Amino acid sequence: SAVISQKPSRDICQRGTSLTIQCQVDSQVTMMFWYRQQPGQSLTLIATANQGSEATYESGFVIDKFPISRPNLTFSTLTVSNMSPEDSSIYLCSVQLRGSGTEAFFGQGTRLTVV
What are the beta bridge partners of residue 69?
Answer: 77
48 binds another protein (CB under 8 A): yes
- The number of residues that bind another protein (CB under 8 A) is 24
Q: Which value, to the nearest 10 degrees, does the dihedral of the CA atoms of residues 27, 9, 13, 39 take?
A: 100
102 binds another protein (CB under 8 A): yes
Decide: helix, strand or coil at residue 87. Answer: helix
14 binds another protein (CB under 8 A): no
What is the smallest separation between the CB atom of 21 and another protein, expressed in angstroms? Answer: 14
Residue 17 phi/psi, 5-degree rounding, is -95, 180
Q: Which amino acid appears at position 84 of this protein?
A: S
Please give the residue ranges that form the binding site for another protein (CB under 8 A). Answer: 1, 31, 33, 37, 41-45, 48, 58, 90, 92, 94, 96, 101-106, 108-109, 111
